[in-house]
Structure 1
Amino acid sequence: MTRKILIIDDDIKLIHLLKEYLEENNFRVSHALEGDHAVDEIKANAPDLIILDIMLPGKDGLEVLKDIRKAHSLPVIMLTAKGDDTDKIIGLELGADDYLPKPFNPRELLARIKAILRRQDLLTTQDSCEDLLIRCHNMILNRAAHTIEVDKKVVDLSTTEFNILEVLMKSPNTVLSRDQIMNLAQGRDFMVFDRSIDIHISRLRAKIETAPGSPKRIKTIWGTGYMFVDIP
């Protein structure tokens, strides 16, 4: 099956390079040069994944990401200026699934795309309906529908947030290291000083915890990682 990628970037040379490279690797690629009509482009092209540059004319990538997250849980990989940690952190806080600083090696981008899509595919290949649901008291995670219900209310999560929560809920009351979480959720190793896991956890807490500042479901185990506590 050919997967579809939407690139939102105003760098024509980069678009042509990525389009050629990704199409050689069996992807169908569409693109947009600005973010003002990103949601319309998504409706028109129905991509499986979005590559989004932060520096765009008109509405910038962070604003575009906000628009995307209002309507879609599609995985988004953000392209940021090299060394600009602020943009990376804000992008992750707004719901980006991954980021890559420019300039980058197209092979690394391809590896990250494949890791994210491979993880998505795993969610749709469960053997039975029982396997599709993870229940922890007042929370129900549905792999097939890609939804999480908390107190019978559906909570919107990005792809990576959902994957991380699934990893944690599958091993309740078990401490998982950041490396284990990153590997299971995104198919790649945790990098030292990479704050993405911590930011995704912070966003998850804001969405599923009654008091995010004093979390009871997702506990930080200092010096080790995180643990999902199966509480009433």
Structure 2
Amino acid sequence: MEEIHVLIADDEKEIRDLVKKYLEQEKYQVDVAADGEEALRLFDQNKHNLILLDLMMPKIDGIEVCRRLRNKTNIPILMLTAKDQEVDKIVGLSIGADDYITKPFSIHELVARIKAHMRRFMVLGSDRSTQEAPITYGSITMDVKKYKVSKAGEEVFLTAKEFELLKFLASHPEQVFTKTQIFRNVWGTQYLEDDNTVMVHIRKLRKKIEDDPSNPKLIQTVWGIGYKFVGGSDGS
């Protein structure tokens, strides 16, 4: 497997050094940035597989960095937030962050979350995934081999986590999943079960693939339970 390259952006040197130390023990290659400008510069200079991004940073804050990065890449972005930044967490998720972890955090939990995101992201791009044929639901086509989604022939840009979420739901048509079940299957971690994360990603996905996001036909809400994907596949 190719070497995994992680970018850590946080203005607290102690956090940068601690996370870098533990990730390097996992044989990851690590770059560190002390502010948003440096994070964007390092990203442009290197090929990173995952970004750990502090919400509050000098020069350019984490939300703006995340917004700019999402115009360039679909790799996992994990945000570090303080406990009292619930609104900012939702904003971060809505503009492209895949996950967040709250400070103060357990370093072992953080490393486990990073490893879980990388495992799932790498599997989607692995040879096992590339053997799968495109799947079509109405005007939506998922090309797992190319890691792309199109609507009526036009490509729709999805983040890594949005793609995983759509693939999971579309692979189980008509089956109802609770938010907890979706979180465990898509985010793949035992440490956090977060309704906001699932709901924000469902909302973002609907905006990108539904003809009328306020009246969704593909990803439907089952009130009091969760969500289901509706529609038979026209492909294999």
TM above 0.5: yes
Other-structure match for 1:162: 163
Summarize the Cα distance change of 1:125–1:193 in structure 2 as closer, same or farther, 3 Å threshold: closer
1:137 and 2:138 aligned? yes
Q: How many positions carry a matched residue from both structures? A: 232
Contact 1:97 1:160 in 2 (8 A): yes
Contact 1:5 1:28 in 2 (8 A): yes
Whole-angstrom distance in 2 between the partners of 1:34 and 1:211 = 39
Summarize the Cα distance change of 1:113–1:191 in structure 2 as closer, same or farther, 3 Å threshold: closer
Contact 1:179 1:189 in 2 (8 A): no
Whole-angstrom distance in 1 between the partners of 2:115 and 2:31 = 17
In structure 1, the gaps of 5 or more residues are none
In structure 2, the gaps of 5 or more residues are none
Other-structure match for 1:194: 195
SS for the counterpart of 1:77 is: strand
Other-structure match for 1:6: 7
Whole-angstrom distance in 2 between the partners of 1:129 and 1:160 = 18
Other-structure match for 2:18: 17
Contact 2:9 2:32 in 1 (8 A): yes
Whole-angstrom distance in 2 between the partners of 1:133 and 1:99 = 31
Q: Percent of aligned positions with the same letter in both sequences?
A: 37
Deviations 1:97-146 (A, max 9, x none): 00001110111111111111111122133547562422212111122322
**Higher deviation after alignment, 214-223 or 38-47:** 38-47
Summarize the Cα distance change of 1:129–1:8 in structure 2 as closer, same or farther, 3 Å threshold: closer
Deviations 1:156-205 (A, max 9, x none): 11111111011011111221222222122121258566310001000001
Alignment map for 1:70-109 (pairs within 5 Å): 70-109=71-110
1:183 and 2:184 aligned? yes
Contact 1:161 1:200 in 2 (8 A): yes
Other-structure match for 2:123: 122
Whole-angstrom distance in 2 between the partners of 1:128 and 1:22 = 26
The TM-score with structure 2 as length reference comes to: 0.91
Contact 2:222 2:228 in 1 (8 A): yes
The TM-score with structure 1 as length reference comes to: 0.93
CA deviation after TM superposition for structure 1 residue 37, in Å? 4.5
How well do the aligned residues superpose, as a CA RMSD in angstroms? 1.9
